[in-house]
Structure 1
Amino acid sequence: MTEDEQNARHTEKMKKKKAAREKILATKTIEKGLIIVHTGKGKGKSTAAFGMAFRSIGHGHKVAVIQFVKGGWESGEKKLLERFPDLVTIKAMGEGFTWETQNRQKDTENAHKAWAAAKEAILDPDIRFVLLDELNIVLRYDYLPIEEVTRFLKEEKPEDTHVVITGRNAKDELIEIADLVTEMTLIKHPFRSGIKAQEGIEY
């Protein structure tokens, strides 16, 4: 087959693909606020969620970030989000990971305070996007009842509000009600080679 024949064949193939794609897209007519879960052992769960937050800010939407665990970290995301005070509310309400605090009662109290702030943000009609960073961690340790969280998201979340939830070990009940679930798979991580957390990469 000549180069011209290959190009012509490719063009025809892409025309058919485009037509098929447009036919599929024409059936997608529902517009709604999504419940999104980022879970798994791989790196990038919060990073991807913050990327969505930055995308929302780029469109002029108001954003709220509630951090359930990482309150002790001064992250690059937090520094950047604080540059948009008219569009962003960020509350770091944890005191570090559970193995750092070693205080179940305090962790539970902080989780309940963060959940109260999360509900307030989700119900705020001016906020379009809410990131519940590491909520899966507090649910895993039963600091919050999963039934309360799923009921609220199903019954009280405004129709046009997006809620993104991050953290390992997402509970089955949460996965069931979510519209989009992504599992980050760990293949390699520099930590296993003795490389410490890098500024601008991990935080």
Structure 2
Amino acid sequence: MASSNSTIFSNVDETSCAASAGPAMKETEIAEHIQLIAKCIKSYPDFPKQGVLFRDVFSILREPKVFPVLRDVLVALTKKLNPIPECIAALDARGFLFGPLIALELKVPFIPIRKKGKLPGEVISQTYTLEYGTDCLEIQKESITKGVNVLVVDDLLATGGSMKAAIDLLEKAGAEVIGCLIIVEIMELNGRGKLTKPVIPIVQY
């Protein structure tokens, strides 16, 4: 079971930040915002099964004063990346709540990474292993330009299986994945150990 104590964390080095459009958010301001975000994440014991402590980011969406704060932090951390992404991709389904907010602010394309059979047209697929069986992620082939810098966004990083599959899928399509922006990271499950790209979490447990 994950610890009930959270760690506020941003691993983006101020000295390596790319120049961003508009005034940059100060590190102290980001830290204050993250404290507020962390307080709004609700925990549910024994869900979806016994022994699991579920961290629910939907509780942030119920707070109209906090949801914009989360958006601003996501955008601020993205603008600090070097290079700044030319495209935002997000995982089905909770990632779709947050990825488009960043893409709109940066004025770059948004790419949904969906479960098998959900996208029309020619797709590129990536199968990955679950605890019992396999699953498959897909993107539309026409959505990716080879060599484009892509940031992958999701709500939570746990074991890392779906995030690794998303990275593999985007690279198969010819994209350059520059990192993974996560709202919540469950540290004890070591999902980042499966990944070859930088992980940028907002809150760690």
Q: Does the TM-score normalized on the shorter chain lie above 0.5? A: no
Q: Larger helix proportion, structure 1 or 2?
A: 1
TM-score (norm 2): 0.34
**Structure showing greater Rg:** 1
Tell which has more relative contact order, 1 or 2 (C-alpha 8 A, sep 6+).
1
Q: Larger strand proportion, structure 1 or 2?
A: 2
TM-score (norm 1): 0.34
